[in-house]
Structure 1
Amino acid sequence: MTVHIGPLTPEHAGEALTLQRAAYVTEAQFYDAPNLPPLTETLTELRAELTNGVLAFGAWLGTRLAGCVRGRVDGDRMEVARFAVAPDLQGKGIGTALLATAEDAAPREVRTFWLVTGASSEASQRLYRRAGFAIVGDGTDSAGVALVLLEKVRS
């Protein structure tokens, strides 16, 4: 399986939104939370974010978008956001490759990467721990889902 990782542009917004929804619907079902923010994001919102300088990458298998990730930089911190891999392709290294690409592409001044995931999302947490992230806090999102905050200091 040959995966090509490259920039995600506004032209990819429709496909990225479809992938994002497919990836997050299983989380929504697991948490009984149909209004997770990745599921309520609109095409207009996604296209605007991709137009306004957010770091964004896609992983393609041929012409199929198999995964995507966005990085939102704020000073010396970068949020890893809207990280999604097609459900039928999870566990094949695509997420690991996307995460590494996003970290490598972050501006030099970024010292800390952070993200949130569901407190009961064990597979996601394993992926992030393998990539060097550690849980540093917890909370609840607008849909009432218990979350954990993970951080990684850039080496």
Structure 2
Amino acid sequence: MRTPPLIAPATPLDAGEILTVQRAAYLTEAQRYADPFLPPLTETLEEVRAAIAGARTVLTARIGPRLVGSVRAHVEAGVAHVGRLAVAPDQQGHGVGGRLLRAVEAMYAARVDRFALFTGADSEQNLRLYQRHGYRVVGHRSDANGVRLVLLEKPSVTAVRANA
């Protein structure tokens, strides 16, 4: 049986590992879309450090001492925007991404009306993950390089209770 990852807030010392895992995780996306300039691949170490130090929540997943995943979120107008969910390629498909997603949702559930995120329109594994966790497609758009994106949203627990 696999050891579940420990989910914890990122510290500035995690920035290099986060960037390494992020680049490894998004490399297949870059290949899928023939776009080596996806923002998670061009982000600098200083930008990752700024995200950790700033108003964004950055969580990490570790198995033992190894950082195997991370996710970020920030709130705007009652919406928690989730992004940069990244899992080391050899750990994908083992629940790390789902655990990170649930952890960030738990942090914000009582403070937001809904969660929002986007992924590539052709990223079937990502779409399945998000849909399994209750996200639904609400729109489409293209990024600056023409990559087709799917916008997904999920109501927070407090929004579901308020509408019940």
Contact 2:110/2:156 (CA < 8 Å) preserved in 1? no
Name the CA distance, whole Å, in 1 between partners of 2:145 and 2:75. Answer: 25
Shift of 1:71: 0.6
1:8-51 deviations in Å (ceiling 9; x for gaps): 12110010001000000110011101000100111111101110
Q: Which amino acid aligns with 1:46?
A: V
Name the CA distance, whole Å, in 2 between partners of 1:68 and 1:46. Answer: 11
The structure with more radius of gyration: 2
Could you tell me which residue of structure 1 aligns to residue 74 of structure 2? 72
Q: Which amino acid aligns with 2:124?
A: E
Could you tell me which residue of structure 2 aligns to residue 34 of structure 1? 36
- 1:100-115 mapped onto 2 (5 Å cutoff): 100-106=102-108, 108-115=110-117
Shift of 1:84: 0.3
Instruction: Report SS of the residue matched to 2:55.
Output: coil
Q: Which amino acid aligns with 1:57?
A: L
Contact 2:116/2:154 (CA < 8 Å) preserved in 1? yes
Could you tell me which residue of structure 1 aligns to residue 142 of structure 2? 140
Could you tell me which residue of structure 1 aligns to residue 122 of structure 2? 120
Identity percentage of aligned residues:
50
CA RMSD in angstroms, aligned pairs only: 1.0
Could you tell me which residue of structure 1 aligns to residue 47 of structure 2? 45
Contact 2:51/2:58 (CA < 8 Å) preserved in 1? no
Q: Which amino acid aligns with 1:12?
A: D
Moved over 2 A (4+): none
- Is 2:93 the counterpart of 1:87? no
Name the CA distance, whole Å, in 1 between partners of 2:54 and 2:128. Answer: 31
Name the CA distance, whole Å, in 2 between partners of 1:147 and 1:53. Answer: 25
Shift of 1:142: 1.6
Could you tell me which residue of structure 2 aligns to residue 22 of structure 1? 24
TM-score (norm 2): 0.92
- Give the unaligned 5+ runs of structure 2: 158-164
- Give the unaligned 5+ runs of structure 1: none
Aligned residue pair count = 155
Shift of 1:109: 2.4
Name the CA distance, whole Å, in 2 between partners of 1:141 and 1:106. Answer: 27
Instruction: Report SS of the residue matched to 2:72.
Output: strand
